Chain A
């Protein structure tokens, strides 16, 4: 009887068949890194001004604010949801900071207002999606108009100016030489989100939900809670971006950051996050942000007009996304 408890023919199943190193080398972020290096090389050959430290530092300002939102957006999309309203959140957050300014708020209060308005907007999206069970794409298209609409009602064709001098540091200050506060903050947040998605139980739950929310729920994952937290995080990062952008521009207009949601989502998708959820990596999204920043900056140095730039970015996105599909098709044919 007891020999049934101890199967004698138990075969050991290995952890994995391929080595981790090999998996990493063959991964999407590695491919992106190669693309990024090629673009870097092309840029430095094309323009003599590109390799100047100050020019490179300036280039980071073009994408860090969007890239900060992309970090949280990546997690949200991995979980199978999306937030279209992020540019609206920036508008309403910046406007509320402007309102606070009219009441004589100091820099600390402005930052707190910025963070909490972003968080509240994210929580609002989260409640609509998780409590009412509405599809996030519809909810956030609605709140995008709602949030920006409130900015327009408050501001009309006016704008808020005269932010305190110390407030300007967030979007314009340098920590050391050419290293800007914004850029360092972005790198720290990137590390934070990397750990959150890839190294914690929470991150595993995010992946599981994106793959199969029902099976996740049936396995004891609190799906609604995780999704709610992700919407809050996305709102919060939009709030952070709003603080940086408002500080950098020194003013608030209701049309601030219009159209950013598409660039943010492009970064996430280019970074290898499956738009249907379930897979992706923070590393990929970070490299994708650099690629987009480098392309925009390089083309800017060559005096390429903005319209052409968006054509080139569009082509880049489609090419990079189609490449793996085409490769695997080619492989299967053989």
Chain B
């Protein structure tokens, strides 16, 4: 085998209280895709930041083509031929495609000003080369979808002749087809001899595109090898440090009487005719395509979205939550899909995030009792097995999975009757996923009722007692999740094709 293009040797990066990377190594080879695998918090993002000049490692060497280099700024990374494509691409919405591609290295005229005509011609050339003929070089970036923005980012990588391309969860926001297009492009980059680092949570993608893999866990490298020779079970075992036998927990809980009853709930534009019941101790799944109106219905129950008509009955009493505060008081809580912006307050300590809706309980006559807040936060974060170095640590310093645990801990502390989880495991790794699922099972065992909105069919079918299928703002069908229900049947129902199964 040829020598590696890029070698990371014994890289260590620590932050106050946390060692994010502990003596890790990584090799990237020209013309090969290396998949970086690990749970959230394993150190993948930190590694990307080290490679792109955002973080300077405390120790260790970065060697490119046998020469040690120092990457202490984004510009250094650019000089080293490293280009990154992020989950949500970091480009400039208000600039044109051509400007985005050539920002910082635009062709100049002999007067030192930007040679616009040359820039556009070259941008067109690069876009054509990567098969993005449909993207106009003069289009404003904000007019493009996320998939096309990725293509622009790839074009940018080509234009600086990057030899090392990092893709940090590029498929997270893409549709099936767009992912296929991206893979075609990755094959093209491979054939041009680029060394590619591919980060993803999805095993089917990793097996489809990667030649080699490296697994990180808790800031250390725990294994590497080549694909597809290594079986998935072996990689999962490396990731979590134990064998995952059973993905979804089995439950023995008894579903009780109706707790929450929704009658004919309407919204001027987002949903209509919403009626369903939630029973005590039940997990009710909400399935549908993105944009089916599921989140809007949930936010109506939580007092955020205003309804035009309909009633909500909780435990025999009609409630009309006008704000989240009303809903929480009634006993309904909501774990939002947008964790970082709606779930946790990233710049505040963990304990203050957890105690926020329970301040009335932890305080005495409206005066804060910090010790009680710590006690409350410790009780619930321990139950969820939160990984943090201290409860005063800012929530934003934790991984996505751990942030989700804070949101759930915050709600459990309010002793709710109904907990609504909106895409609870989106973007979190297998280990945390299993923890969230286990915990949901525990909650219903204790008599809580759970509504889970999810776009992942295995999750919906693995967890729910019953499934509400929505399409274009309406409930199509409510089905019992029994042995007769197959994924294929679910897809047929969800696609909105009228089929009289009854």
Contact = CB atoms under 8 A, between A and B. Distances in A.
Interface of A: 4-5, 7, 10, 12-17, 199-205, 207-208, 211-212, 214-222, 278-279
Interface string B1-38: 00000000000000011000000000000000000000
Interface string B219-242: 000000000000000000000000
B381 A217 contact: no
Contacts of A208: 345, 348, 352, 356
Contacts of A16: 390-392
Contacts, number: 106
Interface residues of B, number: 46
Contacts of B351: 15
Interface in B359-413: 359-360, 363, 366-368, 374, 378, 381-383, 385-386, 388-393, 410
A278 B341 contact: no
Interface in B312-331: 323-325, 327-329
A66 B334 CA distance: 43
A153 B416 CA distance: 57
Contacts of B341: 212, 214-215
A286 B346 CA distance: 28
Interface string B135-148: 00000000000000
Contacts of A199: 367-368
Contact of B391 (A4, A13, A220): A13
Contact of B336 (A7, A12, A218): A218
Contacts of A10: 382, 385
Interface of B: 16-17, 302, 304, 323-325, 327-329, 334, 336, 341-348, 351-352, 356-357, 359-360, 363, 366-368, 374, 378, 381-383, 385-386, 388-393, 410, 438, 442
A218 B342 contact: yes
A207 B390 CA distance: 20
Contact of B345 (A14, A202, A216, A220): A216
Nearest to B326: A220
A53 B388 CA distance: 53
5 contacts: A199-B367, A200-B368, A201-B366, A204-B359, A215-B341
A153 B340 CA distance: 50
B336 A201 contact: no
A99 B189 CA distance: 79
Nearest to B386: A13
A-B pairs, 6 with minimum CB distance: A16-B392, A220-B328, A220-B325, A201-B359, A220-B357, A212-B345
Nearest to A332: B56
Contacts of A5: 442
A220 B332 CA distance: 11
A212 B352 CA distance: 13
Nearest to A198: B368
A199 B442 CA distance: 36
B243 to A, nearest CB: 16
Contacts of B346: 211-212
B368 A201 contact: yes
Candidate in A10, A13, A203 with the most chain B CB atoms within 10 angstroms: A13
Contacts of B325: 220-222
Given A15-B351, A212-B346, 12 more contacts: A13-B386, A13-B388, A16-B390, A200-B363, A207-B348, A208-B345, A211-B347, A212-B341, A212-B345, A215-B344, A218-B334, A219-B345
Contacts of A219: 324, 345, 356-357, 410
A133 to B, nearest CB: 15
Given A202-B366, A204-B359, A219-B357, A214 B342 contact: yes
B367 A215 contact: no
Nearest to B250: A1
A17 B16 CA distance: 9
Given A17-B16, A204-B368, A218-B334, A4 B347 contact: no
Nearest to A195: B367
A200 B367 CA distance: 4
A219 B304 CA distance: 11
A222 B343 CA distance: 16
B391 A201 contact: no
A201 B442 contact: no
Nearest to A212: B345
Contacts of B382: 7, 10, 12-13
A216 B366 CA distance: 18
Contacts of A201: 359-360, 363, 366-368
B347 A220 contact: no
Nearest to B371: A15
Candidate in B304, B324, B360, B363 with the most chain A CB atoms within 10 angstroms: B324
B301 to A, nearest CB: 13
Contacts of B348: 207-208, 211
